[in-house]
Structure 1
Amino acid sequence: MYIIKPKGIFLSDDNNFHKGIVVTEGEKIVWVGDEEDLPSHFTEKGQLIELRDKWLLPGLVNTHVHLEFDASNDVVDNFTSSSKEELLALAQHQGEQLLYSGVTTARDAGSSWNLLELGANSPNLPRLVFCGPPVTAYNGHLFFMGCEAESTKELADAVRIHYEKGATSLKIMATGGQITPNCDPVKAAYSVEQIKTIVESAHQYNLPTLAHCLTTEGFAICSAGGVDCIEHCACFVRSKESGLLEREFIPEIFELDDKQKPLLMIGVSTCYNLLNEVRFGRREPTPLEVFKLEQERILFEIVHHLIVLGYPFVIGTDAGVWGTYFNETHLELSLMGERAGMSWQEVVRSATERGAQCLGLGDEVGIIREGYFADLIALDESPQESFNAFEKVSWVMKDGRIVKE
């Protein structure tokens, strides 16, 4: 049993910090309250953890990572040429990076079937939700992971097979993608009816759904099809002049009633590091890099529009793709606040409570409350003062076990 005394505790009742004590026993939180109300039987047998200069929050939830991807420029070739044992070792290592950076729950959003062997609650790893291979059209995005399906029967069978093999979430490739060779990112992969078939089948097995979506057309298809969480919302179109991907926001497509609004995961930090040399003035940008920086600026404008429209967000990074690392969930949080204009309370909520709800774990993790798993982190600085506070996670507990101090 641990008696944890921080400087402040982030509570979901009002999404703010409060003075108090958290008591954990075994895997669970057993008491939260004011210090003067702490029952004596806890003080008699509990070990005191003094965190009086730190801010206590629920462990972070990263809803979109790829544990078998190595974040290199050759990510696809390295994935397809690696053995099962090599990919599992890589996933173990990168999962540990997630946990030590404060991510106590994560969803792998596309992998080989072999990844499911890690188990949902392995030692020294975050609590894991597995999608397995994404459901994709023939030769569609990430087809090489092994689940191509298009007919109604194929789609329903694909969902059933995922459930039988132990997947705990279902990923749909609603458009093409950028890292898959010869796959057009602006091409819709499925119709509304096909998406509905996948989503309805997944919900029969209580599998939360998410859809990779890089275009406005794809967003409209996914929202009409009932997808639980739409990923990226890049609003890409193909420039007729240059042939490059540029962003075009069409507000009326996104003006849905609140009950119709799906969860959104953007991944503003995805590949962000690739432009750091020119972003920070270390060298002059090429014309292509100037274009990419402008498209990055437009992305943050789009995200801000979506925040104003009242969309609920969760946090995901796409860790594992080009230049996107597993110990940098903090970058997504700070960018959502500093550049997209999300409030610090919404940043925290998106990265904890709402992320847990998105993964179907809202009754187990994501908030600090009696009966929930003791997944906790401590920051040296309050996120109320700086979004960069998430870079300084100095203490981590998962399932009541201290894994970083």
Structure 2
Amino acid sequence: MLALRARRLFDGQEMRHDQVVIVKDGRIADVTADVATDVPAAVDLGDATLLPGLIDCHVHLAFDAGHDVVAMLEPPGLPDRMRQAARQHLAAGVTTVRDLGDRDYLALGLGLGLDGPEVLSAGPPITTPGGHCWFLGGEAAGEQGVRKAVRERAARGVHVIKMMVTGGEMTPGTHSHLLQYGLAELKAAADEAHAHGLPITGHVHCAQGIAHVLDAGFDSIEHCSFFTEDSYAVDHTVVAQLAAADVVVSLTVGVAPSPVPLPPRIQQRMAGMREALRAIQAAGVDFVIGTDAGIGPPKPHGVLPYGAEMLVENGYAPLDVLRAITSAAARVCRVGERKGRIAPGFDADLLAVAGDPLSDITALRRPLAVYRMGSRATGRVGQINQTAPTIG
């Protein structure tokens, strides 16, 4: 057994004070004001905040956050690099990640155990022939084609279906503002996913794509951007539809300090992206954070605390942000019955940070200790790898 005491405790919903968390056999046994006399190990964390382990709803463990992430998919050793990427998340206090695009279903069999976060995987994302991230191996066309692709993933044991509704920035020949699939194909994929008891999420970068996935019945939307061919234009009618729908937006926010600047097409759209963030917040849209970690040097693995900081900087309430990276994220990832809360019966995935993240959200970047199923992580807690490899 283990007892952890901290000045503050965020239980996934509310902030509490001077509580003791009792851990037994990898799960939370009790949350109390007193330490039981039969607890052999007691840790006083002092002026710290204890939180549920954080959950990043959108990562790519197969991408190394380097200058050419596609080239680095080819050489041998990819599973080992994915394990190292996962450990970087754990060091940052992220105890669960949802991998939304790998190659050969590698994220399903990394075998990390407690030496990394729990990995929930989509396998190769479903995309059109030659479409965004086609090189991950998930090409499928037509209603029957996408149904077959969903069935294949369900048989493999994935946790979520990921579909590339629009093009993307890293794939030449595709365009973020243009649809890749029509409404009939999106509905077919969503129906097939739900028939297999799986949630489905869509990579979407334009207003029409957002409207289509709402009509198709997707469970969540990744990015939820409003790209146009040359600019960025928030569609407030679509934002209102998002607020009224039973859907969760996974905001891919968070950029770590990096000597490598954002791509020019992204830089020139940043003002529009911030406007979209504020519009989503003002409308009361349900949201979580998925960082898109791994896609380039500004998005190293373990960048989630920077995503939380970005939302607070754009007017989001710190309490809502903390919920978005714990209990709300657990529900979206379909693990809400055991993750994202500090309560009896839940997994003892825990993060202790210096200070109070409600008054200073950057406290999330100062982890003191990370526990995975009650075992303390022994890696370089708090270290983010911000050095991108050079591709020759």
Aligned equivalent of 1:9:
9
Aligned equivalent of 2:275:
301
What secondary structure does 1:6 align onto?
A: strand
1:125 maps to which of 116, 127, 139: 116
Shift of 1:320: 0.8
For residues 270 and 82 of structure 1, do their structure 2 counterparts lie closer, same or farther at Cα, with a shift above 3 Å needed? farther
CA shift digits 1:69-97 (9 cap, x unpaired): 01112111222x223xx110110101000
CA shift digits 1:139-179 (9 cap, x unpaired): 11111111211222211111111011121111010000111
Aligned equivalent of 1:329:
304
Q: Partner letter of residue 252 of structure 1?
A: T
Q: Tell me how far apart the structure 1 counterparts of residues 316 and 75 of structure 2 sit (CA, whole Å).
A: 39
Aligned equivalent of 2:235:
250
Q: Tell me how far apart the structure 1 counterparts of residues 96 and 111 of structure 2 sit (CA, whole Å).
A: 10
Shift of 1:16: 2.0
Shift of 1:390: 0.8
Alignment of 1:3-402 (within 5 A): 3-13=3-13, 15-35=14-34, 38=35, 42-79=36-73, 81-83=74-76, 86-119=77-110, 122-239=113-230, 246-256=231-241, 258-269=243-254, 273=258, 293-323=267-297, 324-338=299-313, 340-402=314-376
Q: Tell me how far apart the structure 2 counterparts of residues 302 and 54 of structure 1 sit (CA, whole Å).
A: 34
Shift of 1:259: 4.9
Q: 2:101·2:123 contact (CA, 8 Å) conserved in 1?
A: yes
What secondary structure does 2:193 align onto?
A: helix
Higher helix share: 1
User: Which stretch shifts more, 263-272 or 357-366?
Assistant: 263-272
Q: 2:12·2:51 contact (CA, 8 Å) conserved in 1?
A: no
Shift of 1:322: 1.5
Shift of 1:327: 2.5
Q: Tell me how far apart the structure 1 counterparts of residues 186 and 113 of structure 2 sit (CA, whole Å).
A: 32
For residues 270 and 179 of structure 1, do their structure 2 counterparts lie closer, same or farther at Cα, with a shift above 3 Å needed? farther
Q: 2:243·2:286 contact (CA, 8 Å) conserved in 1?
A: no
Q: Partner letter of residue 296 of structure 1?
A: M
CA shift digits 1:233-261 (9 cap, x unpaired): 2210012xxxxxx2111101221275514
Aligned length: 378
For residues 131 and 104 of structure 1, do their structure 2 counterparts lie closer, same or farther at Cα, with a shift above 3 Å needed? same
- TM-score w.r.t. the length of structure 2 is 0.91
Q: Tell me how far apart the structure 1 counterparts of residues 243 and 234 of structure 2 sit (CA, whole Å).
A: 19
Q: Partner letter of residue 9 of structure 2?
A: I
Q: Tell me how far apart the structure 2 counterparts of residues 257 and 126 of structure 1 sit (CA, whole Å).
A: 31
Shift of 1:183: 1.4
What secondary structure does 2:330 align onto?
A: helix
For residues 180 and 226 of structure 1, do their structure 2 counterparts lie closer, same or farther at Cα, with a shift above 3 Å needed? same
Q: 1:261·1:311 contact (CA, 8 Å) conserved in 2?
A: no
Q: Which runs of 5+ in 2 are unaligned?
A: 382-392
Q: Partner letter of residue 251 of structure 2?
A: I
Q: Tell me how far apart the structure 1 counterparts of residues 218 and 108 of structure 2 sit (CA, whole Å).
A: 27
User: Which stretch shifts more, 2-11 or 253-262?
Assistant: 253-262
Q: Tell me how far apart the structure 2 counterparts of residues 102 and 23 of structure 1 sit (CA, whole Å).
A: 19
Q: 1:270·1:321 contact (CA, 8 Å) conserved in 2?
A: no
State the percentage of identical aligned residues: 27
Shift of 1:12: 3.9
Shift of 1:116: 3.5
Shift of 1:335: 0.5
For residues 370 and 211 of structure 1, do their structure 2 counterparts lie closer, same or farther at Cα, with a shift above 3 Å needed? same
Shift of 1:275: 6.6
Q: Tell me how far apart the structure 1 counterparts of residues 271 and 256 of structure 2 sit (CA, whole Å).
A: 14
Shift of 1:207: 1.6
Q: Tell me how far apart the structure 1 counterparts of residues 341 and 247 of structure 2 sit (CA, whole Å).
A: 21
Q: Tell me how far apart the structure 2 counterparts of residues 302 and 182 of structure 1 sit (CA, whole Å).
A: 26
What secondary structure does 2:62 align onto?
A: coil
Q: 2:108·2:123 contact (CA, 8 Å) conserved in 1?
A: no
What secondary structure does 1:297 align onto?
A: helix
For residues 29 and 53 of structure 1, do their structure 2 counterparts lie closer, same or farther at Cα, with a shift above 3 Å needed? same
Q: Tell me how far apart the structure 2 counterparts of residues 164 and 347 of structure 1 sit (CA, whole Å).
A: 35
Q: 2:140·2:146 contact (CA, 8 Å) conserved in 1?
A: yes
Q: 2:108·2:120 contact (CA, 8 Å) conserved in 1?
A: no
For residues 89 and 119 of structure 1, do their structure 2 counterparts lie closer, same or farther at Cα, with a shift above 3 Å needed? closer
Q: Tell me how far apart the structure 1 counterparts of residues 9 and 278 of structure 2 sit (CA, whole Å).
A: 28
For residues 12 and 78 of structure 1, do their structure 2 counterparts lie closer, same or farther at Cα, with a shift above 3 Å needed? closer
Q: Tell me how far apart the structure 1 counterparts of residues 324 and 246 of structure 2 sit (CA, whole Å).
A: 15
Shift of 1:295: 2.1
Q: 1:365·1:375 contact (CA, 8 Å) conserved in 2?
A: yes
